[in-house]
Amino acid sequence: MDLHAIVLVLDSAVRLSVPLILAALAGLYSERSGVFDIGLEGKMLVGAFAAGAASAVAGSAYVGLLAAVGASVSFALIHGYASISQRGNQIVSGVAINFLAAGLTALLGYAWFSQGGQTPPLTPEGRFRNITLPGAETLRDVPVLGEIYVELISGHNMFVYLAFLAVPFTWWVVYRTRFGLRLRAVGENPAAVDTAGISVTWLRYRAVIICGVFCGFAGAYLSIAQSAGFVRDMTAGKGFIALAALIFAKWRPWPVLGACLLFGLLDAAAIRLQGAKLPGIGEVPVQFMQALPYVLTVVLLAGFIGRAVPPRAGGTAYVKER
Amino acid sequence: MSAEAPAAAETARPRRIGLPGWIEYGLIPLANLAAAFLVAGLVVLFVGENPLEAVQILVWGAVGYGEGIGFTLFYATNFMMTGLAVAVAFHAGLFNIGGEGQAYIGGLGVALAALALDRFVPWWVTFPVALLAAPVFGAAWALIPAWLQAKRGSHIVITTIMFNFIAAALMVWLLVDHLSPAGSMQPESRTFEAGGTLPKLGSLFSAIGLDIGGAPVNVTLFVALAACVVVYYLIWRTRLGYEIRTVGFNPTAAAYAGISPVKITIVAMLISGALAGIMALNPVMGDQHRLQIDFVSGAGFVGIAVALMGRTHPIGVVLASILFGMLYQGGAELAFEIPSISRDMIVVIQGLVILFAGALENMFRPGLTRGYAVWSALREPPAAGTKGGG
């Protein structure tokens, strides 16, 4: 593989990892506050559908993004109501969110647009287009660096840059702000937070809403930035890969970026290596590459490479002492 | 790691005392179900159709004629097995979300048995072999998540989700590269001969005057019903069942009582995986007569809704799986009659049932408890000694 091929694989790895980064960060806020969320997939899916539908009708990408965030946050609030206010089982609630999303997006898409569950193809105004960074044209002829700058760094849509900026932003919020300190505390020991006179319920609701916003962005990226419209089951398990990445990163922002890039690279390599023979190994089945993120996560969870310890109060509702 | 054992126990369903059984097991599930269907009705309204008409078509499609009943029972067979699988794990305080993958791998066992034997022996020889292979393969797929939960504290929900995806990748690879006959582009095994197919129940139903047409309901239905009885005895009438329930209620107390939570976690998950694996008999040997990609098609997940709605009791599971069988069969009819309500409506209802009967199960409890308190206060006036009149 020459430089050009490597840059192309890396470029596609970046594109594939963007929804994972956004969704995994979404999960980070929620799970750090003590609300487990296996409904990332579902929230991304409603986000993608709402973005595709609204953008097709209104002809504006920003309306689409707004709709995506709105839809995703309302699903996040259902999850919040069930797991924070009603103290229901958070896993069950997440499963319900995923089914509701899978069913509703297909049903409404089918009923509203009658195109087999797709939303109509978008006009250029309905999509987020690629941004050419300054200097890309002049640097094109510089060897090596020019190619990397033009192909890999420049020429992505807004979401790609937002996702990469969201990582340091999340790190700052979680580790350097008062809100972040409380967020981490409420996920480890909600009783202590309550004793300090801070509302556990409101903190967790805020975390769940932030989770919804990020999932909405991840969904909008899929339907109105990466592609030109929603197709049914568009997320295709990306929410679960993001969940795996979050665990793989042990619920920390920078490692989330690393894990998502790794899983994105695996995905890109799987597409690239389809049918190719590797020296010494022979043909690697594409399914093996697809299963690798899940296998790696299980191995990590097993504690054979490091140890993934979830937030201590995760999965349990807080019952205020009376 | 013991710190995670209570987290696993959270998934167990705590029973609260104080309400009579008919409210606890009758009224509350019914109220939850009613809420789910009410919201589903609103969705139908939102799509611009008449919910009452939709219900009419759905019920007619599911039980209005012989073939519909046959299909309803065929689907119900799948859901009974996956529902039992989820229910047994629930009793041990475990959330087995991996029924889908375990059933998928169970299908591999069924297909291998059928492919090996179908040309040489009649179905009633293949059947017991497949009935053994399916649970063994299903249980094997549950073994690693079970062991990881029991020994290393890895959260079973996450590992079983991961194993669903791993199973899907593994099966696609096997079907494309190994099981599909030479020269075929279809990612599926060859079609079984007569010795690898299960008899349908058409003649049995025609004996009671019901023509089920081409409906694929087959002898697996009896396997599923028998499994319900076996699970009932296992959970409430055996020592192992007692130990499973004890671990589910309180792993720490169980450990003090000399019950090993590690052993029970693994055993309960193996039983759960085995039950999910048996589900594969129904579609693979009973209907399609070959191993196809994604033949489970969500039945493993329906099992979650079925177990929650059936309150993890075999009788509840039977009733809930018949309801979901009706939804699946009637939903197909509905999509045909009213094209704007596609079959995805079933998935919506499934999600709503999981939401209201599972995550929001306690939403109506305070109201009903208050209502019951008022009602029993009215029924039994404070004056003592009135009972003597009876």
Instruction: Name the token pair of B172.
Output: 């696609």
Residue A107 is nearest to which of B10, B155, B345, comparing CB atoms? B345
Q: Please give the residue of chain B at the shortest CA–CA distance from A99.
A: B351
Q: CA-nearest residue of chain A to B174?
A: A287
Kindly report the CATH number assigned to the domain that includes residue B339.
Answer: 1.10.3470
Residue B2 predicted with pLDDT over 80:
no
CA angle, corner A49, sides to A47 and A54, nearest 5? Answer: 95
User: Residue B331 contacts by C-beta under 8 Å, 6 or more apart in sequence?
Assistant: B58, B61, B343, B345, B346
State mean pLDDT over A305-310. Answer: 70
**Is the Cβ of B347 closer than 8 Å to some Cβ of chain A?**
yes
Percent of chain A with pLDDT over 90: 51
Q: Which of B30, B245, B355 is nearest to A90 (CA)?
A: B355
Structure tokens at B144: 């690693």
pLDDT > 60? residue B4 = no
Tens digits of per-residue pLDDT, A44-62? Answer: 999 999 999 999 998 888 9
Residue B338 lies in a domain: yes
Q: Does B141 touch chain A (CB under 8 A)?
A: no
* Residue B16 is assigned to a structural domain of this protein: no
Asked whether the beta carbons of residue B351 and residue A96 sit closer than 8 angstroms, the reply is: yes
Kindly tell me if the per-residue pLDDT of A23 is higher than 80.
Answer: yes
Q: What is the rounded CA–CA span in Å between residue A216 and residue A239?
A: 12
Nearest CA-CA partner of A88 in A28, A24, A39, A25: A39
Q: Cβ contact (<8 Å) for B346 and A103?
A: yes
Q: Is residue B26 part of a domain?
A: yes
Tokens of A123: 């006009």
- pLDDT confidence tier of residue A275, bands split at 50, 70 and 90: low
- For residue B7, pLDDT beyond 80: no
Taking contacts as CB-CB distances below 8 angstroms, the residues of chain B near A288 are: 169, 173
Contacts of A312 in chain B (CB under 8 A): 3
Closest alpha carbon to A157 in A222, A202, A100: A222
Q: Is-contact A87 A106, C-beta < 8 A?
A: no
> Do B173 and A285 lie within an 8 Å CB cutoff?
yes
Q: How many helices (H) and strands (E) does chain A have?
A: 13, 4
**Residue indicated by tokens 């799986």:** B321
Structural domain count, chain B: 1
Closest CA to A84 of A34, A151, A23: A34
Chain A contact for B369, CB < 8 A?
Answer: no
Query: Is the per-residue pLDDT at B13 higher than 50?
Result: no
In a domain, B389, yes or no: no
Interface probe for B, chosen from A107, A234, A263 (most Cβ of B below 10 Å), is: A107
> Is B132 a domain residue?
yes
Q: Has residue B387 been placed in a domain?
A: no
Looking at the domain assignment, is residue B380 inside a domain?
no
Q: Residue B385: inside a domain, yes or no? A: no
User: Domain span at residue B25?
Assistant: 2-8+21-374
Residue B6 reports pLDDT greater than 60: no
